[in-house]
Amino acid sequence: MVHGEVWTIKELFVYPNEYIYWTVQIVMYPFMTGLVAGAFVLSSLYHVFGVKQLKEISRFSLVFSFALLPVALLPLLLHLQQPLRGIEVMLTPHFTSAIAAFGIVFSVYGLIVASELWFVYRRYFVETALALREKAGRSLAENIRYRLYRLLTLGAYDLSEQAQELDDKAVKILAGAGIPVACFLHGYAGFIFGSVKANALWMTPLMPVIFICSAVVSGIALCILTYIVTMEIRKLIVAWRRKPLPVLPLSEELKSAEIQVVTMTTRYLVMFMVLAITLELLDLIFRGYTAVKSWDILRSVIYGRDFFNIFVLQYGLGNLVPFVLLLLPRLTIRRAILATTLVLLGVFMMRWNVVIGGQAFSSSFAGYMHYQLPIVPHDWETFREGLCGALMVGVAPFILFWLLCKIFPVFDCPESE
């Protein structure tokens, strides 16, 4: 069977070689990179612009952004027909292609996040390494931890006031440099689509900007959501541990701190949402107003076949409902959870409607293609380009985040300033 035939249903006049070649993994790719970029921008709001209220979530989102980073690669590798040759993009980049820049942008961004993380956590590394060094009779696990942290300090044990000031300065510079690079990383994912002149739905210079805005929206939403979830777990743990140890903070105290952070962060979320929706609607209106050759088929896809996906799931449930939920006074944690989950759904549907919607019609402009997501896999192809593959990509960053939290504690960490 030809690649794409399993999940493509053709209707009316479609060229014989046309199938839905870019499937759910290509939906996951901009979704995941969007989360990376968005999480980073959120952490930079504190480091660069000194938004003090975001201090707690900024450290959290930085680590989360780092956890998401390798996962952004995964969907790309999973969709390649020759995944073992994927490295060629880095080795022999063909620079007229938007994808060729991937290796460079991705590595630069990875280095920036990694080094920022190092400067943020340097004091912690040094202190942990020193504390473990002092300890006599280390167990095997402690020995491994000691070696790891000693390695992570990179030999820089200086914790003088001057050195720490320099650290903060470095964090500020890296966070500042990271914002344009994060935007570029994601804007260029938008460029990959926006520059395909053969695809009437994708081709618009607005695509990179729309992608960046929705990326920030999704990144902030996910950070809020994960933040709430981890805080709730913390509260449970604290309540459980408080019984023998009454010195620990009350869960009520944690709760008030939590809602304050969440309320503050949602303001930025709403701001970026307005920007993203404005641009998306501008694009839609512009297409209808100019009504070029492709508009007839686009209209039938947007207002007909994909109406539910676009107007109900994406704009309605994903944008309008959370917008109202977040703007209503006296935000509660429960409402924030619902709103951010819906925002994430909205951004995911936006990616879906761009990637799958862009292939819902034939280049002949006289036929349609339907995508049927493989749910139960019956071979490797339907696994990786089906629901299972997408879920795998979706779950991976949380596992990585959990692992990273073991090395970079997000909460119980001494203040670096």
Is the dihedral angle over the CA atoms 243, 249, 255, 256 positive or is it negative? positive
Using the rule CB under 8 A, is 53 a contact of other proteins?
Answer: no
Amino acid identity for residue 90 in this structure: M
Using the rule CB under 8 A, is 97 a contact of other proteins?
Answer: yes
Which of 55, 73, 99, 263 forms a contact with other proteins (CB under 8 A)? 99
The region of 58-66, 82-90, 126-134, 144-152 touching other proteins under the rule CB under 8 A is 82-90
- Neighbouring CB atoms inside 10 A of 69's CB total 23
8 Å CB contact between 231 and 304: no
Using the rule CB under 8 A, is 290 a contact of other proteins?
Answer: no
The region of 6-14, 65-73, 308-316, 338-346 touching other proteins under the rule CB under 8 A is 6-14
Q: Which residues are CB-contacts of 134 (< 8 A; sequence separation ≥ 6)?
A: none
Tell me what percent of the chain is helix, strand and coil, each rounded to the nearest 5: 75, 5, 25
Q: Which is nearer to other proteins, 86 or 180 (CB)?
A: 86
Q: How far is the CB of 415 from other proteins (least distance, A)?
A: 44
Q: Which is nearer to other proteins, 19 or 124 (CB)?
A: 19
Of how many residues is the chain composed?
417
Using the rule CB under 8 A, is 72 a contact of other proteins?
Answer: no
- Pick the closest to residue 64 from 393, 404, 347, 336 (CA basis): 404
Q: How far is the CB of 276 from other proteins (least distance, A)?
A: 24
Q: Which is nearer to other proteins, 9 or 403 (CB)?
A: 9
Is the dihedral angle over the CA atoms 292, 296, 298, 304 positive or is it negative? positive
Q: How far is the CB of 370 from other proteins (least distance, A)?
A: 9
- Pick the closest to residue 98 from 202, 18, 17, 216 (CA basis): 202
For 53-198, strand residue ranges (E) read: none
- Would you call 103 exposed, middle or buried from its count of C-beta atoms within 10 A (0-12, 13-18, 19+)? middle
8 Å CB contact between 123 and 408: no
Is the dihedral angle over the CA atoms 110, 113, 115, 121 positive or is it negative? negative
**Phi, then psi, of 303 in degrees rounded to 5:** -90, -10
- Neighbouring CB atoms inside 10 A of 51's CB total 18
Tokens of 345: 């759904």
Q: How far is the CB of 15 from other proteins (least distance, A)?
A: 4
Site for other proteins in 166-195 (CB under 8 A): 192, 195
Which of 104, 250, 324, 366 forms a contact with other proteins (CB under 8 A)? 366
Q: Which is nearer to other proteins, 70 or 93 (CB)?
A: 93
Q: How far is the CB of 84 from other proteins (least distance, A)?
A: 9
Which of 52, 94, 243, 330 forms a contact with other proteins (CB under 8 A)? 94
Question: How far, in Å, CA of 55 to CA of 270, rounded?
Answer: 19
Q: How far is the CB of 95 from other proteins (least distance, A)?
A: 9
The region of 18-26, 53-61, 122-130, 222-230 touching other proteins under the rule CB under 8 A is 18-26
Cα 278 to chain centroid distance, Å, stands at 21
Site for other proteins in 292-321 (CB under 8 A): 293
8 Å CB contact between 72 and 36: yes
Q: Which is nearer to other proteins, 98 or 170 (CB)?
A: 98
Q: Which is nearer to other proteins, 6 or 129 (CB)?
A: 6
Task: Provide the Cα torsion 77, 81, 83, 86; round to 10°.
Answer: -80
Using the rule CB under 8 A, is 334 a contact of other proteins?
Answer: no
Using the rule CB under 8 A, is 362 a contact of other proteins?
Answer: yes
Using the rule CB under 8 A, is 365 a contact of other proteins?
Answer: yes
The region of 29-37, 107-115, 249-257, 356-364 touching other proteins under the rule CB under 8 A is 356-364
Q: How far is the CB of 224 from other proteins (least distance, A)?
A: 34
- What element of type H or E holds 371? strand 366-371
Which of 17, 160, 162, 256 forms a contact with other proteins (CB under 8 A)? 17
Q: How far is the CB of 187 from other proteins (least distance, A)?
A: 17
Q: Which positions lie near other proteins, rule CB under 8 A?
A: 1-5, 9-19, 21-22, 76, 79-82, 85-86, 88-89, 92-94, 96-100, 102, 192, 195-199, 293, 362-367
